[in-house]
Amino acid sequence: MRGGQARPYIGSVVAVRSVSAVIDSGNRCPHFSWARFIWTRRNDSRTMRPTMVIMPQAPNPLRLPLSCESALLERFLKAEAMALWAVRASQLQDVPANVHTFLRRHEADERKHLAQFETLLGHRSAERDRLPSVPRQWPALAVQLFGYEALGLEFALLLAELRPDLSAILDDERRHVGFFEREIGKILSGDRAMAIQAIASAKAWWRKLPRTLDRYLGDPVFDPFRPALTAGILAAIQRRLVQAGLLAA
């Protein structure tokens, strides 16, 4: 290099916990999840400084045909109802104050989504007599909320391809995932016992995920696409859990 150009010195790759932390909120891209920090030094300076380069992540190549739209909407109707009940149950647990505030907003989002799918499909979701049971300990509950929001995000990506008019749901899912991802980061960097509990909970949740995904993709219309869908969704969620520090690479 000549003149005052920066010269690469040493590089490393790190996971970015929040895309919005490094990309302006008005120009977000869902396929950016890694950043490479390269230490650079100008020829006329002894000072080295890190330069961040955003690394692209390949988007999901699978696009469902229009014949899957109705089944996908039905899946969302059930999933949004379950999410609404889970969020309500979570508010009854001993969670940090900022989490409780977020869960109230989260509940409002889920009510709005559920109403949208009920309108689109022309029927209401099934009612429940009581709220579902959720983990009482915050680390385990955080993992469960994070995991199911990550699963919902993968389905929201599929839905947005078929129904761009519902892309606001995808934006909400990204926001939910980002919040719980940050909360997981706080847990893992804090009390050791809580961190161990979160990691153990993530391993248990991950072992059950394939069976959960089988139920989500149970409609026969998904049969031709089930192997590719299952492999792609599992890989995306595993990558997210690894980047969050919950699973070993």
CATH assignment at residue 104: 1.20.1260
Asked if residue 78 and residue 173 are part of one domain, the reply reads yes
Q: Are 201 and 135 in contact (CB under 8 A)?
A: yes
Asked if residue 221 and residue 119 are part of one domain, the reply reads yes
Instruction: Render each residue's pLDDT in the chain as its tens digit; 249 residues.
Output: 444 444 333 333 333 333 333 322 333 333 333 443 434 444 455 544 554 444 344 444 478 999 999 999 999 999 999 999 999 999 999 999 999 999 999 999 999 999 999 999 999 988 888 999 999 999 999 999 999 999 999 999 999 999 999 999 999 999 999 999 999 999 999 999 999 999 999 999 999 999 999 999 999 999 999 999 999 999 999 999 999 999 998
> Residue 162 is inside which H or E element, if any?
helix 138-162
**Residue 219: both structure tokens together:** 């409609």
Asked if residue 189 and residue 117 are part of one domain, the reply reads yes
Instruction: Give residue for tokens 């230490």.
Output: 39
Is the pTM value of this prediction over 0.85?
Answer: no
Asked if residue 181 and residue 111 are part of one domain, the reply reads yes
Asked if residue 121 and residue 191 are part of one domain, the reply reads yes
Residue 37 is part of which domain span? 6-56
Pick the closest to residue 236 from 196, 208, 209, 199 (CA basis): 209
Cα(37)–Cα(60) distance, rounded to whole angstroms?
Answer: 25
CA–CA–CA angle 145, 116, 180 (5° rounding): 15
